Structure 1
Amino acid sequence: MHDSIEEGDLITVGLPRNLFELDSGADHYLLFAGGIGITPMLAMAHYLYAQGKSFALHYCGRTAARLAFVQQLSHSPFADAVHFHLDDGPTSQRLDLSHLLGTQSPSQQLYICGPTGFMDFVLAEARGHGWHEDALHREYFSAPVTTTAQDPAFEVELRQSQRVIVIPAERTVLEMLLEAGVDVASSCEQGICGSCLIPVLEGQPDHRDQFLTAQERQANNCFTPCCSRSFSPRLVLDL
């Protein structure tokens, strides 16, 4: 944009998309933040308070000095709903997931944002206590780095255009599609945002994203070409 857009140019932009949307139909919300993952939770807490909703915000970090918005949260009108859990604090304030997640009802929703390890731990605990996937909402900062040098090559067939494109081990499907002139929307290119999701008509994707739920992966009817690959020799895409 810095190189090609000049003052007075007319540009086209898309509408904002929210991939971490708050479900306003629940009766109670559990908000978990790890480190700077407090950013979306802070906005959610303000909204839920304004709507008169029941919620609890659990903010986890190494030390109080490394947490953002501590003063703002401590003096907010919903301060009673904010709980700090510090690694260097007393045992009594440690995060007790068994207690918090032990009784899940259809009227509850869980939202979490923070480092991947922290999020995976909380989500695993929730699933272990019977929480349904529809009630678990997360937003990742980044995806783990994966190497594909040892992966086999495979083909993608574009059903609409009847084209077949070979995907070598060192290239992603998204890269090869764009190189072939196929217009595919993308953003993070890490499998986090879901912008590049493509419908899959045939074949078995090797899902490597952080966006799809376990149920969506099992359906095998879409995949993220920016990072995911294929277990089958050919994937047939609705392109």
Structure 2
Amino acid sequence: MTSLSDEQQPSKSNAKKSVPILQSVTLFVNFFLIITALYQLKPASRSQILEVISADELPYVWIGSALTLLVFINIYNRILRYIGRFRVVLGSALIAMGALAIFRLALETESRIAPVAFYIFVDLIGVILVEQFWSLANSIYSTEDGKDWYGMIGTGGLLGGVTGSMLGAFLIHYTPLQTPDLLLVGAGIIGLIFLITLLLSRQGFYHELTQVAPKKIRHTIWPYQSGGEHRRYLLLIAAALLMAQL
């Protein structure tokens, strides 16, 4: 005869699996929206900067972008240490939306500084949003769940790139919107990410894995979780960006 505990085992297993499935679908959508937003901002930043500087001046802007990221890393890590990851994620989304609204107004002026600053800002926010996403994902997944679901989640970014490119082209060619208006489109998508993340967090959807021992943190899928390793990882990104621009 099958015991009662044996009959209950499948249901418990299904319950455990349902949580990673829901998390993975949500993170898939989240990453999809992040990349879709970035694909509104990057073409706009490239287009706007080429209207005020020549191609010969672009390398200086690239170097400035990488150096800005290097400086920002130290500030970012201090903020992360005192405020906490989740609040920083939400705060970054709000700051990004506000900054995009300001840049949209600034691009209406004849200033050469605004397009250059916007270009650097897009490079910066592109690294920050993606890094924050994977850092948050790593904090709520175990190593086993990460191996099972990270592939699917990453596919959301690929689809976001395709969708973002098509959306930007459609808006420019078939609507009254102009290239600077893509900033507001990107801000709107980031606002949607903010709302989804906030609502799900209030429902207890995001729970960091506090039971992982400190020695085992190095063996997670995204191995840059602790302060020192996290900082070195961001420095590596900045250095790679700087070398790519040279």
The verdict on a shared fold, with TM-score over 0.5 as the criterion, is: no
Structure 1 or 2: larger strand share?
1
The two structures have a TM-score, normalised by structure 1, of: 0.22
The answer to which structure, 1 or 2, has the higher relative contact order (CA under 8 A, 6+ apart) is: 2
The two structures have a TM-score, normalised by structure 2, of: 0.21
Structure 1 or 2: larger helix share?
2
